[in-house]
Amino acid sequence: MAGRLEQLRVADPVITSLARGYSNSDMVGQVLFPVAEVPKEAGRIPQFGKDAFKDASTVRAVRAGSNIISPEGITPIEFTLEEHNQAYPIDIREREEAEGSVPLQMFAVKTAQDRIQLAHELRCAELAQTAANFGGSDTLASGDKFTNNNSDPVAIIRTAKLAVRRRIGRNPNTLLLGAAAFEALSAHPKLLARIQYSQLGVVTVDLLQAILGIPRVVVGEAIKVNKAGVASDVWGDNAILAYVAPAPQPGVTRSIYEPSFGYTLRKKGYPVGGTWSSADKKIEYADITDILKPQVVGGDAGHLLFDTNA
């Protein structure tokens, strides 16, 4: 059946353009796992140990030998990408009644992409909330939880920040907070005392960046709904600190050879969009396909603060 559908699909540049241009702001997984393109669906990529992040001496004395780079900090790991696909049905009567086909296609692409991006967000959250994927992690004791008014969350986060710096020689540049963790920080009296004279008087992401000295702070707001209709947070009451490779200059492709906590490996040329019709030609499907997978490649560059709330 899958092979038959591949034959029936017709590549659609409009749908492909809509798919590549769409992004759900609630999804923050790609902040920790930025996209890096790979040419094949399977292969080997570098895995970075702590030595890969550290600066080395480059000075060479007269008549001395070359400074040879030790490859010990980089070891190859295998990857296999996964195809994610969603097709949204559009009845020909709906298309005829709509004022132009593009708005209807935009809705179809948004619906399909939301599902694909949520699946990716769930996978990112699974990797980023598993202690074994990190060079260091802490489960907060009751006295240290962000919901305890006597705790010191700034000191706790700064300690985790220092732990990353000591492992890899670089400060983490990213902090991802689960929605519950951010809400607890926002209501913490010690945080509020720090910003009582600010213009807003409330804890914001921008203020956290300034207080913690972390260039990028994001909050995981995504929600998942199970088969029983029960909603829950994708990102739990956790705080994830990581060094993530900075975004390249405009027009420059991100490289998997740049040390980083993680990457989303995506097959070059994806996502793609197309259309295909039902056998009776009454239903047209806006079809979106993406081939990608998030992967931790530098666990030493991350630190997990687990169970921040009571």
267-309: per-residue pLDDT in tens? 999 999 988 889 999 998 989 999 999 999 999 999 999 999 9
- Does some domain include residue 201? yes
User: Is 103 within a domain?
Assistant: yes
Pairing of strands 74-80, 10-11: unpaired
DSSP string, 227-265: TTS-EEESS-S-EEEE--PPPPPTTPPP-TTS--SEEEE
Q: Is residue 66 part of a domain?
A: no
Closest alpha carbon to 309 in 76, 142, 68: 142
If residue 3 lies in a helix (H) or strand (E), which one and from where to where?
helix 2-8
- Residues 242, 173: Cα–Cα separation, whole Å: 6
Q: Answer yes or no: is 208 within a domain.
A: yes
Q: Is the pLDDT of residue 245 over 70?
A: yes
Strands 239-242 and 302-306 come out as antiparallel
Confidence of residue 71 (pLDDT cuts 50, 70, 90): low
- 19 in any annotated domain: yes
pLDDT mean over 126-147: 98
Peptide bond into 250 cis (omega under 30): no
pLDDT of res. 7: 42
Domains contained in the chain, number = 1
CATH number at residue 196: 3.90.1690.10
- Does residue 236 register a pLDDT over 50? yes
| Cα within 13 Å of Cα(308), Cβ side | 26
Cβ atoms of 35 and 254 within 8 Å: the answer is yes
pLDDT band of residue 2 (cuts 50, 70, 90) is very low
Residue 40 placed within a domain: yes
Beta bridge partners of 35: 264
**Whole domain around residue 122: which residue ranges?**
10-57+72-306
- State the pLDDT at residue 4: 43
Percent of the chain clearing pLDDT 70 (strictly above): 86
Residue (of 235, 256, 236, 261) closest to 174 by Cα position: 261
Question: Greatest CA span in the chain, whole angstroms?
Answer: 80
**Helix axis angle, 13-21 relative to 101-128, nearest 10°?**
40
Is 110 a member of any domain? yes
Q: Is the pLDDT of residue 8 over 60?
A: no
In a domain, 63, yes or no: no
